[in-house]
Amino acid sequence: MSGGLFEGYAIESPPFGEEDGRRLAAELFGLDGTSAELGSHQDRNFLITTGEGRRAVLKIANPHFGRGSLEMQNAAMRHVAAAGLSYETPVPLEAVDGRDIVEVDNGGAHYDVRMTSWVDGEPLTAARHIGADARAAVGAMAAEAALALRDFDHPAADRVLQWDLKHARAVVDGLIDHAPEAAQRELVEQAMQVHDDAMAGLAPELRTQVIHGDVTDYNVVCRPNGDGRLMPAGLIDFGDMTRSYLAAEAAVAAAALLWHDPDDALGVLVGVVRAFHARLPLEEQELAAMFPLVLARCASSAVSTQQQALLEPDNAYTSGLVDGEWTTLRAAAAVRPALAEAACRAACGLPAHPRAAAAARSLAACGATPVVDPAGRRLQPVDLSPEARVYAFGEWRTPEGLAAAVSVADGDLAVGRYGEARMHRAGDPAERPPAAVHLGADVFAPAGEPVRSPLDGRLASRRSGRVTLDVEIGDAGACRLVLDGVDPAADLADDVRAGSVVGTVAARDERPSHVHVQLCLEPIDDMPGWTTAAERDAWLGLCPNPSPLVGTDATAAPPERERLLALRRHAVADAQELYYSEPPRIVRGWRNHLYDEDARPYLDMVNNVAVLGHSHPAVAAAAERALRTINTNSRFNYDSIARFAERLVELAPEPLDRVFFVNTGSEANDLALRLARTYTVREEVIAVAGAYHGWTTATYAVSTAPYDNPSAAENPPPGLRLVPAADIYRGPIGPDEPDAGPRYAQFVRDAAPGAAAFICEPVLGNWGGIFAPDGYLEHAFRHVREAGGVCIADEVQVGYGRLGAWFWAFEQQGAVPDIITIAKSTGNGHPVGAVITTTPIAEAFARNASFFSSVGGSPLSCEIGIAVLDVMRDERLQENALRVGTHLRDRLRELAGRHTLIGAVHGHGLYLGAELVRDRPGTTPATEEAYAICERMRELGVIVQPTGERMNVLKIKPPLCLPMEDADRFADTLDQVLTTGW
């Protein structure tokens, strides 16, 4: 093939070094300073830094491009700078003689030299992962640049430039032979064939104007925002300006970001295009051309960069780009072109396919023959979604569970729904969401039953288990019909009539036999039957609802997340906050995993309430047993309250031998304070500064956590005596100081006279699991008792076996409180709380008043409480907390050795905290980073949240059934986020 326009094209960079750059900047522009070369494909650029810190860029142009190109760039920079963009751009600087372009001689050749202002920041290439906000910012930046340039023109705008996508085919033809491997050349041609086929009809319809043409990660200048992420703040390098397709501005930007997230190439494209369209609306033909232009950019850049690297092996800039260019091209080429166009259309508010509406109308009126003849049987749609009631305890993971889920009455046929996220596709938590959304409809029928063509068609392909037909559907025209799960008939003809037998229902391994029926408006080979939630709208637009071909409405309800989120925000008080800026709709929990409505599984690292794991069968059985027999208030005589109380007393150390039942931790701590005040006939309470003990009036008054009760943190209420937390990481007494525990206890001693009680978490759970130094509680409790007060151990979060080595958190200090409060874990998600105390304290309270909680200690609550203790014992969950928690703590400490953002690792067992700081060995809290990291962890399938006085500690308190592999998954994911960014 002739290379045409770019055959033999070879442009070496000007022969100048850093010393030349320093000299020319001083001589021509009066800026004397240091010189450092910046990357460039075919020019030479040097960063000049003066002694006063002023910075500018000296640019030595390749003479190949001509003076007119430079004049255009300078004019465009001034034009754009006057447009009032939301980001910074460079401007030309005048030389000492007043010119802005100066010609110099080097070895008899002439070169044009310019200087521009410096845009401060880092290139977007410094960010390995580019999140949705940054993608959108790049798309908006490209749109703003195009808007600013739409009334700009210059005689040099029509120059022929290799980076102009109008010439992508010519560039590839001229330079493809520089690709060293046949597989690379084949990849380039594959991409360009898609481009050529599309642009043959689209090119004349596309808008053209002068564009920047190089809104790429190398030219987008970023600055860190409050949470440490690099966000676009400037755009540099106008060297690729030309009159080209307006859509190319967005296509170039999208292509440049692909190598950052090659596994999410479509998501990158959609994010950029959506943001571009929001600022500068794209026309339908431009959306159709977008992905072909992306492919052309990737292909032409790959061969151009490869050629330049071979031409200049010492050019570190181009050599470093080569691998990234091929990675980008492979990522783009892996996306189906029809899907890319559909996704771009859907992202911009258009129907995903132009014929989608016509297909729906035509299918409704087509009078198709059912694929499987009901023959008097009723077609019964079944629910196989994450919300399916037939699932409870992980049955979706087994063949028996799947068979039960599609079991219907004798004589009926189960039908699987179109557009439904299927639970059995969920798998385990992973970086990428599962392809769980069903693109067809299923008819579950016995193996061997005849399968009929619902419409006239022509055989497109047949293979083991699948028949594919090309059919016509009214106004929608040509469509592809896939019948999967079919043994094709031996005599299947090329032309197929509606109602004719095309095969029989095939037997399936491990799954009930069924026929999968799917349509597509494009002739896509190897049609997937499933997609991810992110690609749902695009694929469902390409694949119309096949219900008319099945014989019944098999349409699943659309996702409810947005509607229910809006309803919640309308009806639920704002103070009841949500995790995450874009919270998933969680519909199921099983063991230490949560599942959203799209069947995405998440690793749950925060639900300490579900101590046994979500949806434990023993808890469900206990609840059913109580609800089916008796559930009344605690003033009746029933056995479960006595049995549960006895179990708790057996677990508590002497002399704690009396139990009060409540519902929540707040109520337990409220009652504990009341018991102490009644027993001591005192009112004032000692509490740890920054601690949290509940939301009731009494507990809120002793809680000074800045996040939960900011007013009390600033102005403690009367009667509250605050002592510093025994925190050797941040507190006034450090880890290396002798007798740290007893010295922290002296603060309690000083506050003890006249106080009714000292309430504390034996381990600072609300701070992320911080342990007090040895001897703290032993001495603090002694000081309180010697002053006539009562010691309350708030074990709501940190007790009940969670620490692994100890059932109660106070045990690790060798101390015994007078009152223990428990909740959360006590009921595995059901509201079960209790207060355990001594006989004298309980009797003193009884002399003054009785106690009653309507449902506290009910048969239901007590049966559940007993079941929780039984399971913890039988499944050895405390031992698991020690084993897995120790491993996870070691992994976190290893991460802290490599990532300075982790300032400390707190806790024990499965109550751990990773404290994030900005300035280790300092302790400046990385609060904003903690929230952003948690958002990124959620995107990667892990649920974790910040806690602590400064909300900078990742709280790690999962169900105690956490297996070792999930502990490693958490550590690996955190390592990935800290390494690649958030």
Verify cis geometry, omega within 30 degrees of 0, for the bond prior to 446: no
673's tokens: 């304070």
Cα Rg of the chain (Å, integer): 34
Q: CA-CA distance, 746 to 750, in Å (whole number)? A: 6
Would you say 657 and 649 are in contact if contact means Cβ atoms under 8 Å apart? yes
Q: How confident is the model at residue 2 (pLDDT cuts 50, 70, 90)?
A: very low
Per residue in 468-484, pLDDT (tens digit) is 999 999 999 999 999 99
Neighbours of 21 (CB within 10 A): 25
The secondary structure of residue 93, as a DSSP letter, is -
Backbone angles phi, psi at 347, to 5 degrees: -65, -25
582's tokens: 């874009």
| Mean pLDDT value across residues 215-239 | 95
Q: CA-CA distance, 809 to 326, in Å (whole number)? A: 55
CA atoms within 13 A on the CB side of 88: 15
In this predicted structure, the answer to whether residue 878 has a pLDDT above a threshold of 90 is yes
| Mean pLDDT value across residues 977-982 | 95
According to the model, what pLDDT value does residue 10 have?
A: 65
In this predicted structure, the answer to whether residue 864 has a pLDDT above a threshold of 80 is yes
The dihedral region occupied by 182, where left means phi > 0, alpha psi between -120 and 50, and beta the remainder, is: alpha
According to the model, what pLDDT value does residue 407 have?
A: 95
DSSP assignment of 681-739 equals: T---EEEETT----SSHHHHHT---TTT-HHHHHSPPTTEEEE----TTTSSS-TTSTT
Would you say 148 and 246 are in contact if contact means Cβ atoms under 8 Å apart? no
Q: What is the pTM of this model?
A: 0.94
Sign of CA dihedral 521, 525, 527, 528: negative
Q: CA-CA distance, 460 to 494, in Å (whole number)? A: 8
H or E element at residue 763: strand 763-764
Q: Considering only CA atoms, which of 49, 48, 55, 65 is closest in space to residue 13? A: 65
Q: CA-CA distance, 643 to 659, in Å (whole number)? A: 11
According to the model, what pLDDT value does residue 80 have?
A: 97
Task: Tell me the residue type at 959.
Answer: P
H or E element at residue 667: helix 665-680
117's tokens: 């202002």
The secondary structure of residue 774, as a DSSP letter, is T
Per residue in 538-583, pLDDT (tens digit) is 999 999 999 999 999 999 999 999 999 999 999 999 999 999 999 9
DSSP assignment of 244-301 equals: EEHHHHHHHHHHHHGGGSGGGHHHHHHHHHHHHHHHSPPPHHHHHHHHHHHHHHHHHH
Per residue in 145-201, pLDDT (tens digit) is 999 999 999 999 999 999 999 999 999 999 999 999 999 999 999 999 999 999 999
Per residue in 880-903, pLDDT (tens digit) is 999 999 999 999 999 999 999 999
In this predicted structure, the answer to whether residue 532 has a pLDDT above a threshold of 90 is yes
| Mean pLDDT value across residues 40-55 | 91
The mean pLDDT of the chain is: 95
Q: CA-CA distance, 862 to 832, in Å (whole number)? A: 8
CA max distance for the chain: 108
Q: Considering only CA atoms, which of 743, 742, 721 is closest in space to residue 732? A: 743
Three-state DSSP class for residue 92:
strand
Q: CA-CA distance, 676 to 819, in Å (whole number)? A: 9
Q: How confident is the model at residue 64 (pLDDT cuts 50, 70, 90)?
A: confident
Q: What is the 3-state secondary structure (H, E, C) of 185-213?
A: HHHHHHHHHHHHHHHHHHHHHCCEEEECC
Pair type for strands 601-604 and 942-943: parallel
According to the model, what pLDDT value does residue 921 have?
A: 84
Cα 341 to chain centroid, rounded: 24
Three-state DSSP class for residue 458:
strand
Per residue in 778-805, pLDDT (tens digit) is 999 999 999 999 999 999 999 999 999 9
Q: CA-CA distance, 254 to 289, in Å (whole number)? A: 13
What burial class does residue 354 get, using C-beta atoms within 10 Å of its C-beta: 0-12 exposed, 13-18 middle, 19+ buried? middle
Per residue in 296-305, pLDDT (tens digit) is 999 999 999 9
Q: CA-CA distance, 514 to 444, in Å (whole number)? A: 4
In this predicted structure, the answer to whether residue 444 has a pLDDT above a threshold of 70 is yes
Pair type for strands 242-245 and 208-211: antiparallel
According to the model, what pLDDT value does residue 8 have?
A: 56
Q: How confident is the model at residue 43 (pLDDT cuts 50, 70, 90)?
A: confident
Beta-carbon contacts of 63 under 8 Å, excluding residues fewer than 6 positions away, are 14, 109, 110, 111, 112
CA atoms within 13 A on the CB side of 329: 29
Would you say 145 and 249 are in contact if contact means Cβ atoms under 8 Å apart? yes
Q: CA-CA distance, 838 to 784, in Å (whole number)? A: 16
According to the model, what pLDDT value does residue 1 have?
A: 37
Q: Considering only CA atoms, which of 557, 487, 498 is closest in space to residue 373? A: 498
Q: CA-CA distance, 211 to 77, in Å (whole number)? A: 12
H or E element at residue 659: strand 656-662
Q: CA-CA distance, 569 to 73, in Å (whole number)? A: 50
According to the model, what pLDDT value does residue 902 have?
A: 97
Per residue in 576-629, pLDDT (tens digit) is 999 999 999 999 999 999 999 999 999 999 999 999 999 999 999 999 999 999
According to the model, what pLDDT value does residue 108 have?
A: 87
103's tokens: 């010609």
In this predicted structure, the answer to whether residue 410 has a pLDDT above a threshold of 90 is no
In this predicted structure, the answer to whether residue 11 has a pLDDT above a threshold of 80 is no
Pair type for strands 953-956 and 945-947: antiparallel
Would you say 343 and 538 are in contact if contact means Cβ atoms under 8 Å apart? yes
1's tokens: 């093939």
Q: CA-CA distance, 463 to 540, in Å (whole number)? A: 25
What burial class does residue 707 get, using C-beta atoms within 10 Å of its C-beta: 0-12 exposed, 13-18 middle, 19+ buried? middle
According to the model, what pLDDT value does residue 150 have?
A: 96
Three-state DSSP class for residue 857:
coil
